[in-house]
Structure 1
Amino acid sequence: MADHGGRGHGPCKKVDDGMTRVFELLGKRWTGLIVAVLLEQDAYFAELRRAIPGISERMLSDRLTELAGAGLVLREVDAGPPLRVAYRLTDAGRALEPALKELSRWAERYLPDGGQCPESLRS
């Protein structure tokens, strides 16, 4: 067993409800990237799809629906022509910016290019 400076001996504490809820939503693949793009600017569906390589239309639609349901994203229909749907963050969505920036700084420091977890963080 690795030494963790005297911590971690005994039963683990249950993860708090807030942490559980945030990772149930933001821990899903693509969700954080969608929020990150929308932090930069409001975007139409097609723009979001181009900004996030590898995401399918179905997955993007599903994640946007989840984010809207959670009160983080607003969906606005531009009747056109052509009909287009724009997305923007609510105040609650924008409030994620400091946390996401801090996670990005953490990744720059501790995750090498390529996304592999460094040896020091492996258990």
Structure 2
Amino acid sequence: MSDPQHQERACSAALVRAFSFLGKRWNGMILGTLLDGPAGFAELRRAVGKIHDSVLSERLAELSAAGLVERTVDPGPPVTVSYQLTEKGQALLPALRELSAWAEANLPE
């Protein structure tokens, strides 16, 4: 019989998955940029900062594969591509806003 006071602690597997994915460099920032609505590739690149086009493209593909971001092509002319949060991505809004508020109040610039 194990002693309840000495049980091993373990982080929730779901929390580990969430931080492994959302904590991956740029993913959270891309999602945060899309909080205010759809954005094109160049707009995302400018908003996120010093991200290479290939990395942004890779992250957008990952976010899309996870069902958080949707890519929409408008045939134009001119052809335009935009990215927006899916319903699943929008479900992150409260958590992202809370994290942002917490960081504003508790993390030095």
TM value normalised by structure 2: 0.87
Q: CA deviation at 1:33?
A: 0.8
For structure 2, the residue ranges without an aligned partner over 5 or more in a row are none
Taking structure 1 as reference, are residues 15 and 37 closer, same or farther at Cα in structure 2, changes over 3 Å only? same
The percentage of counterpart residues that share the same residue type is 51
In 1, Cα distance between equivalents of 2:79 and 2:104: 39
- Which structure is higher in RCO with an 8 Å CA cutoff and minimum separation 6? 2
**Partners in 2 of 1:26 and 1:64 — Cα distance?**
12
Partner residue in 2 for 1:22: 18
Q: Does 1:69 align with 2:65?
A: yes
SS at match of 2:82: strand
Match in the other structure for 2:95? 99
- Residues in 2 aligned to 1:93 and 1:81: alpha-carbon distance in whole angstroms: 29
- Aligned length in residues: 105
Residue number among 20, 27, 40 corresponding to 1:44 in the alignment? 40
User: Which amino acid is 1:54 matched to?
Assistant: K
Segments ≥4 residues shifted beyond 3 Å = 9-12
The structure where helix makes up a greater share of residues is 2
Q: Where do 5+ consecutive residues of structure 1 fail to align?
A: 1-8, 114-123
